[in-house]
Structure formats: C-alpha cells, structure tokens
Structure 1
C-alpha cells in the first residue's frame, strides 16, 4: 500500500489546505529523495495565498525555504545526512547557466512557485541542489535560502568596509541584505515606513533607522527590497555620485528615472536575482560562526497541521514578524 503524506497547498487564492499525496519512494537519476524537516514562510508564499503572484498556476504546494535529511542513499549522499535545499532548478544549458549564473537561468523553475514545493514530508531534488547542513539545526538551515538572497545582493553591489549603505525595506529580505552589508564592515542605514519593522532591525543591532531620508551626499550603495514601484523610483535620488543602486525586489511594469541625474552621478544600476552556491556557503558560514543569529530572526515556530489556521493571520500582519518556520518533524 502506498504511503501518503499531507502537503500544504494553495488550492486557489485565499484557500489553503493540507491535501493528501503519495509519498515519493523513488527519484529520477541524478535526483535525491529528501525528508523535509523545516520550511520557512516568505513573502512569495503570502503572495501566492493572496492571489498576487503573477506567474503561478493553482493548485500549488508552497515551500521553497527548505531543510531536510536525505531519505535514501543516492550517489554521494548518504541517508540521514542533514541538508539545505537550493530551490532554484536550472536547465544547465542556457547562456546564463553556461556562464555560472544558474540563478538567472532562462528556464528556471523554483520549488513552490513554478512546480510543487516542499511544504510536505518528502520531496525529490536534483543532487546538485543539495548542500550539507552540517551542525546547523533544521530551523537555521531553513533560513539559508532567504538570507542567501541578501548575501547575493551584497556581493553584486560590491559592498566594502567603510561604505555608507542604505537598505530600503526592512522586511526579511532587506534585513538579510543589511546583515551581510554590516558583516562586510559597511555603515548600514535602514529605511522603512513601518515602525514595527524598524524596531525589529533595532533588535538585530542596527542603529541608523529611518522613516525618511534627508537631503545629503547620498549613499555609496543603495538596495531596494520594498517591492514597491514608487519606492524603487525614489531610491535613485539616494545614490551618491559614483554610487551603486541594487534592485533586489521586483515589480510588474516599468521603472523610470532621470537620465541626466543617472549620468551625472555615473551611477551603476544592478539587478539581483535569487542566489548561487557561493551565497549559500556564505550564509551557512555566517550562521555557524554567529555572525548571523537564526534565533534572533525566528519569530514563530508552527507545525504543519496548524498552518491552515495560522497562514491567513500571518499574511495579514507580516510587518510584525521576521521569519515564521513550519516544522515537519521534531527537531
């Protein structure tokens, strides 16, 4: 008799249920079966629940911030090994992949978005998308992916010690950017219109907290993590002459800016998408050494069975939490 499992599924906008599915017992060649231990909830999951994701087909099993243990030995992976899952499945053949940029693969499929994710007991993942978690606990390991987005953006922005950095949007992604910019020795300022988010940033040790930006010489590197078109456009004015603007968030439609101001400042404009293995490694090392505290980022621990009741509440009040983690089994 086939073994079944429950999957956290957005059946349609506003409708989230635990749906039964057959637990996979085999994986395609080159793939590995992983028993999920924890899954983080992020803005993408909330957008899917709210029906705001532009490229999603329902029903969809959510979950892309994932940790687990290898279920069945395969290749170099032994059963029981704790792992972090990279949810970005790339084709390996397009120009971006050939140039070592699988994070922006032209055919990318993200677990929990383009295909069913890991809000369930077991999932099959390409072997190359697994990283040994070592002594990281399940909750910390489930935070690696969202933090890697911030680490990737900071690397893209070439933040250096002594830089004045502005991060606009103090949600989880923005906080990740801020943490890794600070780790590089930058003076980090955070801008957000939600006082609760600024207080969360204060609790993480940040001192330069802004509800608005005063006129001045600007910032060497500005990061936008707002997901708001007007805020993204306003950010151009905050970049110092010779500075860099990194767009971490994305919106539908066009972003416009003043070409004379752009050229006058010799500004660099950079897009930052997802993360690569290098960024996952950076985050895991930061968590292991205490540069980043997973305990400080954890807002709530939820069991899968409780998620249908909690998800609507969390989605309606995202400004009051940093990271909620859904636990699939006892840590």
Structure 2
C-alpha cells in the first residue's frame, strides 16, 4: 500500500509499504479521509519525530471503513464507518511519531476495542466530516478546561478549525460567543457555524466592540472599564490575542490557551493580581476523542463548513503543503477512493 512519510528535513515521499493484516484481536481500516494539521508541517520541517526521525508516517486525523475484523474483536463489523483514536494506538500515536499514519491507504488497529481505539459513525456522515473528529476533540478539551456555563459570555481568538470547533461547542452549551480574527472569510464561517458576533481585529477596536456586545462588567477593585466577558480562549497563537485578553479581563474571568505560541509572551502579573484571573492551558484530548463524536454526528452540516479544501490522496503532498502554509487554507482534508 501507499503511505505518505517524512523522509528528511523538509521532504516527504509516497512510500510503498506492506499492507497490514488483521490478527484475531485486530481491526483493519481502509482510510477514506484524513485531515491535514499545522503540526504536520512542523514534522516535515524538522525531518520527522524521534524515534522515527526521517521515516515518520503522517496523518493523525483519519476516518475510514472497516475491512477486516479479527475473530476475538467485539462491537465492530466489516463495513462500519469509523473514527480512530490516534493516541490509543499500541504502536505509537498515529501520524505523530507512531509506526502508522492516517495518510496511508490502510491503518491496523491492534488489540482493538470499540469505544477505546475506534468508534462507528452513521454511514450518512461524509468521511471528510468524520475526519474532523480529532481536531474537534482538541477543541472540546479546550472548552472543557474553561468550564463554561449556560449564559456565559465567551470570546474565541482565532477562527481556524480549532477555534471554530470551540465556538460551536460553546454555543451548543448555551454560551454567547464572539469570534475574533483578521481574515474576513474565516469570520464569515464563524457566523455560519453559530457565533453570535464577530470582530475583525485588523479593522475594529476589540475592547470597544466587546463593551458594545457583552456590556460593561460590574465595578470591582479591578481598575478601569472592562467588558463583561466571562471566558477568553486563545486559539490564535498570536501575542496580540493574549495581550487583548489580559488587558480586558474582568474580575473572576477565565483565560484558556489551546494555541501553540512559538515565542515567549511577557505577562505583567502585578497588573493582573486584582483580576484573580484563572488561566488554563489545554493539550490534546485526554477523554474527549469520542465525547465529541455525537455532536459531530448531530450537527455535521455545521461542522462541514470548516472544510475549505478536499484534495485526493494522489495529490496528498500538495495538500500537506497547502495545509501547513499559514493563511493558505482553512481546513484541508485528503480524500481516498473507495
């Protein structure tokens, strides 16, 4: 079978490898769609992930169809459409340093347990949408870390896939959601997926707009006028997003950080002391990989809006280049022939 792998710093190739065979406790999945993540570009740029430096299979956002089921496996049938848990694979994280990658024609799920390693989804859900399950789990964990309540006023910085996924999750939990970005097309998508308002921070004063949208926070020992915003989520990774959130945080607000910051960001804790701000960071999806799946199924048309480009597996290397180039695309998904 064919597999897309990192072969050296800045280099990828289509590699011919043996097609796996399912043992009695295994499930073989034919991959039908796999999303491209910004981290794929990082893996390529550094030449792979140890211990597979220079030979890293790519793709950690897969969805597919079960084609072989071992005799000892329960709860899985040939023909099931499934999403996978990349972090549960026994041979390393799928597409992130493990022995297998989702940008391959087949993935073998060893010692497969339904609900742990893979989960079936209804067959009317497009495979490209099912492939959003992994990044939506990242978004779901970020939302969980900020512990929203119905009626909370939320600002999401960054309208990429994780930011938009978080916006959907917050809205489904009854929050009022504002999305901040500088790209008009992304802000249009934010409104389409359920954000109540958007702010183009390249053209508008974010503080003033938040005061207009969320109102003014009750007076406290925090100095100055602050928007009555309960939760800020940084899904942008830009210093300006953190600076804006910190400058506007009211007493008792929460700041969540799911974005990857490539450079240190200075923080004046002295000026923040009176806010009693709660800061939480979010990484991966300890429990959320299949918790988000039902939302994805129930609202798949909304999630489908996140996809900007569908590129066939034959052009997967172009998809990787597009998906790892900042601003070139919103969400790239590689599709495989049946």
- TM-score range normalised by the length of the shorter chain: 0.7 to 0.9
TM-score (norm. length: structure 2): 0.80
What secondary structure sits across from 2:292 in the alignment? helix
- Contact 1:247/1:270 (CA < 8 Å) preserved in 2? yes
| 1:78 aligned residue | 77
Write the distance in 2 (CA, Å) between the matches of 1:173 and 1:314: 14
How far did residue 248 of structure 1 move? 0.7
Shift of the 70–176 alpha-carbon distance from structure 1 to 2, 3 Å rule, reads same
What secondary structure sits across from 1:246 in the alignment? strand
Unaligned runs of 5+ in 1: 92-107
Identify the range of structure 1 (302-311 vs 60-69) with the bigger mean alpha-carbon deviation.
302-311
Higher strand share: 1
- Contact 2:183/2:200 (CA < 8 Å) preserved in 1? no
How far did residue 30 of structure 1 move? 5.1
How far did residue 247 of structure 1 move? 1.0
How far did residue 230 of structure 1 move? 5.6
| 2:108 aligned residue | 124
Shift of the 165–291 alpha-carbon distance from structure 1 to 2, 3 Å rule, reads farther
**How many corresponding residue pairs?**
307
| 2:217 aligned residue | none
| 2:237 aligned residue | 227
Write the distance in 2 (CA, Å) between the matches of 1:35 and 1:114: 20
Write the distance in 2 (CA, Å) between the matches of 1:186 and 1:205: 11
Partner residue of 1:306 out of 311, 315, 322: 315
| 2:305 aligned residue | 296
2:335 maps to 1:327 = yes
What secondary structure sits across from 2:144 in the alignment? helix
Write the distance in 1 (CA, Å) between the matches of 2:248 and 2:337: 46
TM-score (norm. length: structure 1): 0.82
Residues 288-307 of structure 1: per-residue CA shift (max 9 Å, x gap)? 22276233222121111112
Residues 151-192 of structure 1: per-residue CA shift (max 9 Å, x gap)? 121122111222111111111111111111111121111122
Write the distance in 1 (CA, Å) between the matches of 2:194 and 2:44: 32
How far did residue 62 of structure 1 move? 0.9
| 1:100 aligned residue | none
2:206 maps to 1:213 = yes
Write the distance in 2 (CA, Å) between the matches of 1:42 and 1:320: 13
- Contact 1:9/1:61 (CA < 8 Å) preserved in 2? yes
Larger radius of gyration: 2
Which structure 2 residues correspond to residues 1-331 of structure 1 after superposition, within 5 A?
A: 5-27=1-23, 31-51=26-46, 57-74=53-70, 75-76=73-74, 77-89=76-88, 109-115=92-98, 116-126=100-110, 127=112, 128-135=116-123, 136-206=125-195, 207-211=197-201, 212-214=205-207, 216-218=225-227, 219-229=229-239, 231-251=241-261, 254-277=264-287, 279-290=288-299, 293-316=302-325, 318-330=326-338
Residues 217-271 of structure 1: per-residue CA shift (max 9 Å, x gap)? 2321111112335643553223321011111123356444222333311111111
Write the distance in 2 (CA, Å) between the matches of 1:261 and 1:54: 40
- Contact 2:155/2:177 (CA < 8 Å) preserved in 1? yes
What secondary structure sits across from 1:227 in the alignment? coil
